[in-house]
Amino acid sequence: MSKAKAKAKTKAARKAPEASASESRSSTPSPARKTMPQKTIDAILAAEHRIKPGITVRRITVGLSAVLDQIGSPFVSAQIPDSDVEKVEGLFAMTRPAVESQELLVQGRDVFRAAAVAWADEIELDELAPIVASCLGQICRQAGVMPQSGGPAKNAY
């Protein structure tokens, strides 16, 4: 075999593994690579839901979850509420930044409750169903990624 042919063969052998490695990286994922479950992706990407100007159901964040837990909301406690006021408190908390709810709670539970009832006094009955549905949707997405979460109690709302 001539030196030129041997040199060409060696060059081709060197290039072939490089080409096949780059082709396999770009065309197929590694079998060891895992993807996130769709429920997790949906929960992460869950958007806030604007019901009307001034009423937006917020995404569940760690802060909002802590507020809902602090007020014993049926959204996180899986308990059937004792009163409509307890329902209103959860809906109220779900429609504002957690820091705002926390500031009210620092002033006292009665202050938080009074603010929630005043907010609810501005809600028309035909607006209630979409607010509740959106809140439950956010909670269900959270429960999808946090299986230990009890989620909302059946017939709580």
- Tokens coding 91: 């809906």
What is the C-alpha R_g of the chain?
Answer: 27
The answer to whether the pTM exceeds 0.95 is: no
| Count of CB atoms situated within 10 Å of the CB of 138 | 22
At 149 the pLDDT is 47
pLDDT for 78-101, tens place per residue? 788 888 888 899 999 999 999 999
At 136 the pLDDT is 84
Instruction: Report the DSSP beta bridge partners of residue 55.
Output: 52
DSSP helix, strand, coil percent of the chain (3-state; round to 5):
65, 5, 30
